[in-house]
Amino acid sequence: MKYEISKYQPIEGKLLVEPLRMRTRQVETIELDEEANKDLDPLKDEMQTKKVKSKAPYEMQLAKVVASGDKNFPVGTTIVYSIKFVIEFDLFKKAFLMSNYDVKGYYEMD
């Protein structure tokens, strides 16, 4: 069975969005190396660290609203949102569910 986005109506305060361009920013953090520090005493020994790359949780992106439960965000509106607050929505491919109060602003497309 194939589901259609046009038939989906989120509850009030929720938005279904489709990212315009999905990209992830990598950040480099320094963490303790668990393997190297296994038998070391943190009070006496110098602890070993390692650099780890991970996905940044704070990146802002653009998305198009494809279904809305809020009159302030009609379908087709382009918004700015943080990837930290979205929930993957597996019913529709490449869609995310989010709360309307997590929208950071509007974006006017040329």
pLDDT tens-digit profile of 33-87? 888 888 888 888 888 889 988 876 666 777 888 888 888 888 888 988 888 888 8
Q: What is the mean pLDDT of the chain?
A: 82
Q: Which residues of the chain does CATH 2.30.33.40 include?
A: 1-23+59-110
CATH architecture of 1-23+59-110: Roll (2.30)
Q: Based on C-alpha coordinates, what's the Rg of the chain? A: 20
Say what the pLDDT of residue 23 is.
66
- Indicate whether 24 pLDDT > 80: no
Q: Are 106 and 79 in contact (CB under 8 A)?
A: yes
Say what the pLDDT of residue 22 is.
65
